[in-house]
Amino acid sequence: MNGLMMDYPLTLQHMLWRVERLFDKKEIVTKREDTLHRYTYADLSGRVAQVGNVLRRLGVKPGDRVATLCWNNYRHLELYYAVPCMGGVLHTLNLRLFPDQLEFTVGDAGDSVVFVDKTLLPILDKIAGRMPSVRQIVVLNDGGPLPPHKLGELLDYETLIAAEKAECSWPAVEERAAAAMCYTSGTTGNPKGVVYSHRSQFLHAMCVLQKDSLGMSESDVLLPVVPMFHANSWGIPYAAGLAGTKLIFPDRFMGDGQVLLDLAEQEGATMLAGVPTIWLNLLGALEKSGRRLPKVHTVICGGSAIPRSLMEGMDRVGLRMLHAWGMTETSPIGTVALVRSWIPPEEAFNARLKQGVPVPGVEIRIADITTGEELPWNGEAFGEIQCRGPWIASGYQNDADPTKITEDGWFRTGDVATIDPDGYVTIVDRTKDVIKSGGEWISTVELEGAVMAHPKVLEAAVIGLHHSRWQERPVAYVVPMPEYKGQVTAEEIREFLAGKVATWWLPDEIRFIDEIPKTSTLKFDKKALRNTAEPIAEDAVPSPVQGGSARE
Amino acid sequence: MNGLMMDYPLTLQHMLWRVERLFDKKEIVTKREDTLHRYTYADLSGRVAQVGNVLRRLGVKPGDRVATLCWNNYRHLELYYAVPCMGGVLHTLNLRLFPDQLEFTVGDAGDSVVFVDKTLLPILDKIAGRMPSVRQIVVLNDGGPLPPHKLGELLDYETLIAAEKAECSWPAVEERAAAAMCYTSGTTGNPKGVVYSHRSQFLHAMCVLQKDSLGMSESDVLLPVVPMFHANSWGIPYAAGLAGTKLIFPDRFMGDGQVLLDLAEQEGATMLAGVPTIWLNLLGALEKSGRRLPKVHTVICGGSAIPRSLMEGMDRVGLRMLHAWGMTETSPIGTVALVRSWIPPEEAFNARLKQGVPVPGVEIRIADITTGEELPWNGEAFGEIQCRGPWIASGYQNDADPTKITEDGWFRTGDVATIDPDGYVTIVDRTKDVIKSGGEWISTVELEGAVMAHPKVLEAAVIGLHHSRWQERPVAYVVPMPEYKGQVTAEEIREFLAGKVATWWLPDEIRFIDEIPKTSTLKFDKKALRNTAEPIAEDAVPSPVQGGSARE
């Protein structure tokens, strides 16, 4: 017996209805080199219709992949709406991938059209002639001549739009139809394509607006510094359309704290969103200038864990960070570090530093890394986070890496975490990095944090290497601060760690290097470290005394 | 081409997962005669499992209707979860229906089991022997002997529960499966059954938690005074399970402002929800006692329009009302009277008095009452509100009244409204009440408001009666305040209205009566008025001078 409720499809066309009917006055502002581009949701609505007509004229058919290689700007937003509402699939190319990876993602997705910011033509040019599926390339250009390139004939976005009506008859779209694609950054092997549906995007946006999620509102002014080509842009473009939030796009000027400060201040931002590095830059600009952003009530932070010192610094300048966790495969919102009402005030700061509690719509569990058995939420046991829900991936484009889905249908995130009795997730490692020593687990992330707290240390990465007795033992690669280069000793660091971590967690070796190798998305490339590492000199180090709990 | 996202069914079992895993400490408090019943979400979770097992033991099968005749209390909440999660359909019987209507709804739904509060046994007893589909009746009893009745053998809820384990293997449920039923109050003809699906309930709850909707949060403490048998309880039981909100149930003590004040104060309520009459009582208790409720940030108000004087009074005592509009067929949230960011402060109060703007997930339009043509959002044109969305009814139980769905699939609400360019809905009448005079529309609701603003008038209802020249003309039925009985004249009221409404809106006759007839839900019964009304004495009144805009 079914309910007698409408079979209203959950598609992004609903957002378009709201953009057009309810928020015509609201603004969208984009930073340009020396000026600001400024228009309204009414303008957005009209231009989205024009882009829809352009896509139809270019021969884009339902299910066709349409790629973008763009920064955060209003034209990218137009494509975020026009492509899926026309039945196409928006594939946001990650401009930070290496050329071979970029070529792979275009081919793997089978992109038929590419829309590219003029400033990013040189990146696309690196794979000129290596995109056999691509029929047309359209340049988003603020004016002026194009740089030299080998990409053949290019179409001009504004010229195409100018020829079209500002009304579009959108096709009927089913809610499970593909809406967008985003590739993982591929720290191991090729990037993998995640394919979002209209339904998943709709539901994710419904979650983002919740007070106990990101809490976006019509009354907010949001400056999204998270790149629109990363992890589904955190769902912000569609959540904004649903809520009517004013948006401030930084275009390519994301790395400069001063620029972000000016933008946020001039346009009255109330919410900011980005990764920790961005907020380090902003914090620097605030502290240097003495300026403040009193209108900002929330700084959404994801992508990697928030360093304690960063959140302390942001608290000092009156900016409240909201830590969220997720990944490309989770659309991305999975958990948000709310302070539950029963948390005592003195523990609130620590709660905010955790990855947080699952949002409505997402179920999580932790599973033993070896056996897959579900582990208790006691804040001690740690295992792989697995999750399920209507905006969690059930697989990848072209069936890449089917091992990421468990037999009972949960997504294996690869993140290793504890969950405490209050439901707070705390990530301690990645499954491929965590070390198993004598049957017990050692968190490389915790160990790195402890080493990096040493005042003479700039960066540290810990990997596990083979050991004849303990199976694996930790080895730390340490980059000293420039002023202490050659003046830090392994003994000094080992002494510093004593009492801060369990004795048997102490690294067998501490190896000083000039730089930690990094991936295209600037994460530590531990795979590269492991591939080139010297074996442990087992005679040279004392055997650890190991026993008891892994987290004694 | 489909997205590669999980086919996670949107069912109420997800809320149950959250109740069990995330909110075990949170409280649910229920008012009893002299004490409070108090337990936690952990208790709720265990007892819901027990009730699930009870239902299985009683032979409840997927799709079976299970009725409740209960006030707002923790046991009713248990049934709100256990019945749909077991695959049954929760049918909340409206205890205010007349016995014949109650009998009709039980039979129309085909209820197989009825759960009834001990205090409501006398109501069920009135239809004893007239419920052929009902196999079992279970009494929810706080202890003590039952009143005399003719209902035959009764089962005891607590005895049944005590025999069951606090773990339940819930069946797999599809998202479009029926979850709950609620009947309209039936001001004309028989009540009509609305059948909610798991999907509609899930999506509606996702909306309720949004900052720009009702904005319920884990940190809130909610006192729902809206009966759990009215309009799907405004979705509060499921929204609370999703968010982890502490609930305070008033049981049957809803009408006493003093009791509500005590409950809200003692339990730290931050949100209240109910119809205007309830807030009139609470306001009275606040003004009389001089007490205040500083923790309450929002008083959700729906069911009928908020009188200006009530919202002014509530503002004076520091209680901010949030006006919402909807109906049984809309689950019920359709619009919420948010103050959009661009509304100037001096217009904010008026914006809050309107029915509001559509929430994410709901599309609305207004259609000409005669032609069905879509009307512009100019704040002037008024027509029937039609809506569509995933939690809007597509029909009724047993195919009652199929005329409520338009040919293109929108739900016809029967409410007549204007929509202004900002998207604010203002209801002016019901389609069956609005008067067409000389080709122009007259809003009986506006006219009644104008008459009731007269200091000597207690109540007034306006109906349209046949007129040979103007087709229809308004006639006002007026109840004077007791102290002015026999001392108000028609001329006095007509003079009072002059200048406040258009000349041609002035009622042709003003008829003084002792009481306006009311429906079972205490709304003006204009049908009864019309059925017994004397025709207009056309010779006795001057012809109105009519022309120009309907809202000149």
Kindly determine whether residue A211 and residue B209, on different chains, have CB atoms separated by under 8 Å: yes
Phi, psi of B180 (to 5 degrees): -155, 160
For residues A446 and A435, is the Cβ–Cβ distance under 8 A? no
The tens digit of pLDDT for each residue in A457-466 reads 999 999 999 9
Dist CA A196 CA A239 (whole Å): 15
A87 neighbourhood in chain B, CB within 8 Å: none
A271 neighbourhood in chain B, CB within 8 Å: none
Nearest residue of chain B to residue A362 (CA atoms): B14
The whole-number pLDDT of residue A495 equals 93
Dist CA A139 CA A505 (whole Å): 53
Please indicate, yes or no, if residue B537 is contained in any of the structural domains. Answer: no
Kindly determine whether residue B8 and residue A243, on different chains, have CB atoms separated by under 8 Å: no
Tokens of A116: 């590219």
Dist CA A521 CA A185 (whole Å): 7
Number of domains in chain A: 1
A115 interface with B at CB cutoff 8 Å = no
Best of B1, B5, B336, B366 to substitute, by most chain A Cβ atoms within 10 angstroms, is B5
Q: Region B480-507: what's the mean pLDDT?
A: 92
Dist CA A537 CA B324 (whole Å): 71
- pLDDT at A544 > cutoff 80: no
Amino acid (1-letter code) at residue A213: S
Tokens of B158: 């607590």
- Nearest Cα to Cα of residue A4 among B23, B254, B194, B47: B194
- Parallel, antiparallel or unpaired: strands A65-69 and A89-92: parallel
How close B541 gets to chain A, by Cα (Å)?
A: 45
- Nearest Cα to Cα of residue B546 among B435, B438, B434: B438
Handedness of CA B436, B440, B446, B450 (dihedral sign): negative
The whole-number pLDDT of residue A188 equals 65
**Consecutive H or E run containing B510:** strand B509-512
Kindly determine whether residue A217 and residue B212, on different chains, have CB atoms separated by under 8 Å: yes
CA distances from A127 to A105, A130, B75 (A): 11, 5, 65
A61 interface with B at CB cutoff 8 Å = no
The tens digit of pLDDT for each residue in A96-133 reads 998 999 999 999 999 999 999 999 999 999 999 999 99
Residue ranges with strand state E in A376-482: 383-388, 411-419, 425-430, 435-437, 440-442, 457-467, 471-480
For residues B19 and B241, is the Cβ–Cβ distance under 8 A? yes
A359 neighbourhood in chain B, CB within 8 Å: none
A216 neighbourhood in chain B, CB within 8 Å: 211
Active-site entry in A164, A175, A267, A329: A329
Question: How much of chain A exceeds pLDDT 70, in percent?
Answer: 97
Residues 6+ apart with CB under 8 A from B87: B60, B61, B62, B63, B64, B171, B173, B177
- pLDDT at A552 > cutoff 50: no
Handedness of CA B249, B250, B251, B254 (dihedral sign): negative
B271 neighbourhood in chain A, CB within 8 Å: none
Dist CA A429 CA B65 (whole Å): 49
B218 interface with A at CB cutoff 8 Å = yes
How close A339 gets to chain B, by Cα (Å)?
A: 9
Choose the closest CB to B3 out of A2, A200, A217.
A200
Kindly determine whether residue A3 and residue B198, on different chains, have CB atoms separated by under 8 Å: yes
Dist CA A411 CA A192 (whole Å): 14
The rounded mean pLDDT for chain B is 94
Choose the closest CB to B200 out of A3, A242, A390.
A3
CB burial class (10 A; 0-12, 13-18, 19+) of residue B499?
A: exposed
B14 interface with A at CB cutoff 8 Å = yes
Tokens of A322: 């909201």
> What is the CB neighbour count within 10 angstroms for residue B552?
12
Kindly determine whether residue A17 and residue B195, on different chains, have CB atoms separated by under 8 Å: no
CA distances from A329 to A199, A306, A414 (A): 15, 21, 11
Choose the closest CB to B357 out of A22, A176, A194.
A22
Q: Three-class SS string for B344-412?
A: CHHHHHHHHHCCEEECCCCEEEEECCCCCCECCCCCCCCEEEEEECCCCECCCHHHCCHHHECCCCCEE
CA distances from A508 to A278, A490, A503, A549, B422 (A): 35, 10, 11, 19, 67
Tokens of B371: 């032609």
Q: Region B47-60: what's the mean pLDDT?
A: 98
First to last CA, chain A: 54
CA distances from B148 to B95, B119, B126, B154 (A): 19, 12, 12, 12
Choose the closest CB to A394 out of B4, B10, B357.
B4
Dist CA A458 CA A83 (whole Å): 44
Kindly determine whether residue B338 and residue A218, on different chains, have CB atoms separated by under 8 Å: yes
Q: Region B92-120: what's the mean pLDDT?
A: 96
Please indicate, yes or no, if residue B449 is contained in any of the structural domains. Answer: yes
Name the residue with tokens 């009481």.
Answer: B515
B40 interface with A at CB cutoff 8 Å = no
Active-site entry in A184, A245, A270, A298: A184
Please indicate, yes or no, if residue A283 is contained in any of the structural domains. Answer: no
Nearest residue of chain A to residue B193 (CA atoms): A4
Dist CA B515 CA B481 (whole Å): 11
The whole-number pLDDT of residue B519 equals 79
User: Whole-prediction pTM value?
Assistant: 0.94
Q: Pick the more confident residue, A324 or B542.
A: A324
For residues B66 and B55, is the Cβ–Cβ distance under 8 A? yes
Kindly determine whether residue B4 and residue A393, on different chains, have CB atoms separated by under 8 Å: yes
Please indicate, yes or no, if residue A235 is contained in any of the structural domains. Answer: no
Kindly determine whether residue A3 and residue B358, on different chains, have CB atoms separated by under 8 Å: no
Please indicate, yes or no, if residue B37 is contained in any of the structural domains. Answer: no
For residues B496 and B454, is the Cβ–Cβ distance under 8 A? yes
Please indicate, yes or no, if residue B418 is contained in any of the structural domains. Answer: no
A12 interface with B at CB cutoff 8 Å = no
Virtual torsion, Cα A43, A44, A47, A49, nearest 10 deg: -120
Dist CA B109 CA B91 (whole Å): 8
Name the residue with tokens 């004939």.
Answer: A153
**Consecutive H or E run containing B315:** helix B308-316
Amino acid (1-letter code) at residue A319: L
The tens digit of pLDDT for each residue in B401-412 reads 999 999 999 999
Nearest residue of chain B to residue A178 (CA atoms): B3
For residues A266 and A216, is the Cβ–Cβ distance under 8 A? no
Q: How confident is the model at residue B524 (pLDDT cuts 50, 70, 90)?
A: confident
B411 interface with A at CB cutoff 8 Å = yes
Please indicate, yes or no, if residue B187 is contained in any of the structural domains. Answer: no
Phi, psi of B401 (to 5 degrees): 45, 60
A63 neighbourhood in chain B, CB within 8 Å: 1
Q: Region A410-421: what's the mean pLDDT?
A: 97
Tokens of B338: 């948010």
The count of CB pairs under 8 A between chains A and B is 189
The tens digit of pLDDT for each residue in B238-274 reads 999 999 999 999 999 998 999 999 999 999 999 999 9
Q: Region B310-326: what's the mean pLDDT?
A: 97
Kindly determine whether residue A196 and residue B393, on different chains, have CB atoms separated by under 8 Å: no
Dist CA A79 CA A456 (whole Å): 47
> Annotated catalytic sites of B, by residue?
184, 329, 436, 441
CA distances from A371 to A403, A438, A504, B88 (A): 15, 16, 23, 37
For residues B41 and B26, is the Cβ–Cβ distance under 8 A? yes
B210 interface with A at CB cutoff 8 Å = yes
Q: How confident is the model at residue B552 (pLDDT cuts 50, 70, 90)?
A: very low
**Which domain, by its residues, includes A458?**
433-532
B111 neighbourhood in chain A, CB within 8 Å: none
DSSP B77-122: HHHHHHHHHTT-EEEE--TTS-HHHHHHHHHHHT-SEEEEEGGGHH
Q: How confident is the model at residue A151 (pLDDT cuts 50, 70, 90)?
A: very high
Name the residue with tokens 């217009």.
Answer: B347
- Nearest Cα to Cα of residue B19 among B67, B72, B82, B64: B82
Tokens of B177: 């499966």
Q: B491: domain CATH number? A: 3.30.300.30
Choose the weakest-confidence range: A265-274, A297-306, A520-529: A520-529
CA distances from B252 to B71, B118, B296 (A): 6, 11, 22
For residues B473 and B536, is the Cβ–Cβ distance under 8 A? yes
A21 interface with B at CB cutoff 8 Å = yes
Q: Pick the more confident residue, A502 or B219.
A: B219
Q: How confident is the model at residue A540 (pLDDT cuts 50, 70, 90)?
A: low
A358 interface with B at CB cutoff 8 Å = yes
Choose the closest CB to B218 out of A21, A338, A395.
A338
State the DSSP code for A329. Answer: G
Choose the weakest-confidence range: A288-292, A384-388, B465-469: B465-469
Helix (H, G, I), strand (E, B) or coil at A153: coil
Kindly determine whether residue B3 and residue A196, on different chains, have CB atoms separated by under 8 Å: yes
- pLDDT at A551 > cutoff 70: no
Choose the closest CB to A210 out of B4, B8, B209.
B209
DSSP A242-278: HHT-EEEE-BT--S-HHHHHHHHHHHT-SEEEE-HHH
Q: Which of residues 527-546 of A touch B (CB under 8 A)?
A: none
State the DSSP code for A374. Answer: B
CB burial class (10 A; 0-12, 13-18, 19+) of residue B274?
A: buried
Choose the weakest-confidence range: A86-95, B219-228, B513-522: B513-522
The whole-number pLDDT of residue A268 equals 98
For residues A302 and A355, is the Cβ–Cβ distance under 8 A? no
State the DSSP code for A508. Answer: S
Nearest residue of chain A to residue B197 (CA atoms): A3
Tokens of A133: 């599926």
The tens digit of pLDDT for each residue in B112-156 reads 999 999 999 999 999 999 999 999 999 999 888 999 999 999 999
- Nearest Cα to Cα of residue A411 among A377, A386, A445: A386
Dist CA A503 CA A473 (whole Å): 12
The whole-number pLDDT of residue A10 equals 98
Q: How confident is the model at residue A550 (pLDDT cuts 50, 70, 90)?
A: very low
CA distances from A163 to A139, A282, B108 (A): 16, 42, 58
Dist CA A311 CA A326 (whole Å): 19
**Consecutive H or E run containing B462:** strand B457-467
Is A489 considered catalytic here? Answer: no
